Amino acid sequence: MRIVKLTQESKNNILENLLKRSPNSYGKFEDAVNNILLDVKTRKDEALFEYTKKFDKAEINSSNVIVSKEEIDRAYTLVDPELVNVIRKALKNIKEYHEKQKQYSWFDSKPDGTILGQKITALGRVGVYVPGGKAAYPSSVLMNVIPAKVAGVEQIIMCTPPDKDGNVYPTTLVAANEAGVDVVYKVGGAQAIAAMAYGTESIPKVDKICGPGNIYVALAKKAVFGYVSIDSVAGPSEILVIADETANPRYVAADLLSQAEHDEMASSILITTSEDIANKVSQEVDNFVKVLSRREIIQKSLDNYGYILVVKDIDEAVDVANEIASEHLEIVTKDPFTVMTKIKNAGAIFLGEYSSEPLGDYFAGPNHVLPTNGTAKFFSPLSVDDFIKKSSIISYSKNALEAIHNDIETFATAEHLTAHANSIAVRFEK
């Protein structure tokens, strides 16, 4: 990995390079995505099944678009029972963590007859997108579905692309069934996002779409925002490690590569106060890359967006980490909890050498759907909050309103909204 001595210039260059990975830079694909969205919105199922035939080579129609109970039962026979058991253990951890996020309606009453409050209501229907392609990610199924279930969403549907024979990945089906998905549809890509956003004869319109996907899926989600809510427009994966001289370079190198293998655009950055650690981590990375199965993807990722930054002290490391606002942030120092208190911007923070990033991806319980590409400065991980909405409650007695009606009328009149003022004034006419 390249080792860079941090200067203002090198920091600016790195930040500029990382921003090239933003979904906002995918403009050349937008026309194709918009054409698909409009076509599905207009022709509904007809267009949906044509695109499934074109892109997935599968003969899908209204009679087989829904995954049957028999297909789900068969999936269990194709998945290793040990993996099913692990999925259930992870599900328990994820559910317990998210149950602590639940919010409840509240009301506050005063002696003068004023009642103010907030009503919490779960979304009615949520659509979860699960990629197909070269790999299946049952962990993403759990992370997207469980917070919606905990929030009390009435119906959760899932869209995932079929293979050419019209089958869905068995692990995806098992995870969906264990998590409590109501219906699974065999459609993928931008056309699936369109179907969930606008509704077709086979697939109902949802209130919110969540879940990862390729560039076309990301742009489709961005385009339909407003017709429905979305979780976020996710960019490529990223990890940032802050390490001092006490860190184990082999562990650090392994953790950096855990994200580099995702994607050629993934970012892996080490910020360290120790030149010795920088050199040792670089050597360990080179050794690992030679033996890991996805070495071509890893190497391209490291060549494009991999850095080892040497800084003068931990405070400078924290400053740079807050500027980058990484999706995953590991702190491997002699006092990680003190360093953590200075972190303002990160999707998920992992403390200590035994809290490696994959622990959060699969098992610990916190959500692995995290803000990317610097958006941790203003976005949070996916949570129960993403699947509820809040209504304000206002109730005043006559006496309570009478005490302040002149103030409201004064305010409304100052804004030249006389009908507003009149709505209050008529209640106190002589």
Is residue 70 annotated as part of the catalytic site, yes or no? no
What radius of gyration, in Å, describes the C-alpha atoms of the chain? 25
Task: Render pLDDT for 313-325 as a digit per residue (tens, 0 to 9).
Answer: 999 999 999 999 9
Task: Render pLDDT for 70-106 as a digit per residue (tens, 0 to 9).
Answer: 999 999 999 999 999 999 999 999 999 999 999 999 9
Task: Render pLDDT for 333-374 as a digit per residue (tens, 0 to 9).
Answer: 999 999 999 999 999 999 999 999 999 999 999 999 999 989
Catalytic residue among 178, 238, 284, 327: 327
Q: How far apart are the first and last CA of the chain?
A: 82
Q: In whole angstroms, what is the distance from residue 237 CA to residue 263 CA?
A: 7
Question: Model confidence at 262, in pLDDT bands (50, 70, 90)?
Answer: confident
Q: In whole angstroms, what is the distance from residue 3 CA to residue 256 CA?
A: 14
**What pLDDT is stored for residue 23 in this prediction?**
63
Residue 128 CB neighbours (<10 A): 26
Percentage of residues in the chain having pLDDT higher than 90: 85
Question: Model confidence at 424, in pLDDT bands (50, 70, 90)?
Answer: very high
Q: In whole angstroms, what is the distance from residue 430 CA to residue 421 CA?
A: 16
**What pLDDT is stored for residue 205 in this prediction?**
98
Determine how β-strand 229-230 pairs with β-strand 208-210: parallel
**What pLDDT is stored for residue 104 in this prediction?**
95
Catalytic residue among 328, 357, 368, 409: 328
* Single-letter amino acid code for the residue at 326: S
Q: Is the pLDDT of residue 115 over 70?
A: yes
Q: In whole angstroms, what is the distance from residue 310 CA to residue 320 CA?
A: 11
Task: Render pLDDT for 224-236 as a digit per residue (tens, 0 to 9).
Answer: 999 999 998 878 8
Q: Is the pLDDT of residue 24 over 70?
A: no
**Residue with tokens 């054409």, as numbered in its chain:** 35
Is residue 328 annotated as part of the catalytic site, yes or no? yes
DSSP 426: G
Q: In whole angstroms, what is the distance from residue 105 CA to residue 180 CA?
A: 25
Q: Is the pLDDT of residue 416 over 90?
A: yes
In degrees and rounded to multiples of 5, residue 328 shows phi and psi of -115, 130
Residue 229 CB neighbours (<10 A): 17
Determine how β-strand 183-185 pairs with β-strand 3-5: unpaired
**What pLDDT is stored for residue 16 in this prediction?**
83
Q: In whole angstroms, what is the distance from residue 226 CA to residue 211 CA?
A: 17
Q: In whole angstroms, what is the distance from residue 326 CA to residue 182 CA?
A: 34
Looking from the CA of 2 toward its CB, the CA atoms found within 13 Å total: 16
Structure tokens at 330: 């590991």
More confident residue, 190 or 22: 190
Task: Render pLDDT for 25-63 as a digit per residue (tens, 0 to 9).
Answer: 666 788 999 999 999 999 999 999 999 999 999 999 999
Residue 43 CB neighbours (<10 A): 13
C-alpha torsion angle, residues 321, 326, 332, 333 (rounded to 10): 20
Residues 6+ apart with CB under 8 A from 281: 1, 243, 249, 252, 253, 256, 270, 272, 308
Q: What is the edge-to-edge ordering of all strands in the sheet holding 306-310? A: 3-5, 306-310, 267-272, 238-243, 328-332, 348-351
Question: Model confidence at 129, in pLDDT bands (50, 70, 90)?
Answer: very high
Which residues does residue 350 pair with via DSSP β-bridges, in sequence order?
A: 330
Q: What is the edge-to-edge ordering of all strands in the sheet holding 106-109? A: 106-109, 115-122, 388-395
Q: In whole angstroms, what is the distance from residue 309 CA to residue 303 CA?
A: 15
In degrees and rounded to multiples of 5, residue 183 shows phi and psi of -145, 140
**What pLDDT is stored for residue 133 in this prediction?**
63
**What pLDDT is stored for residue 120 in this prediction?**
98
Percentage of residues in the chain having pLDDT higher than 70: 98
Average model confidence (pLDDT) across the chain:
94
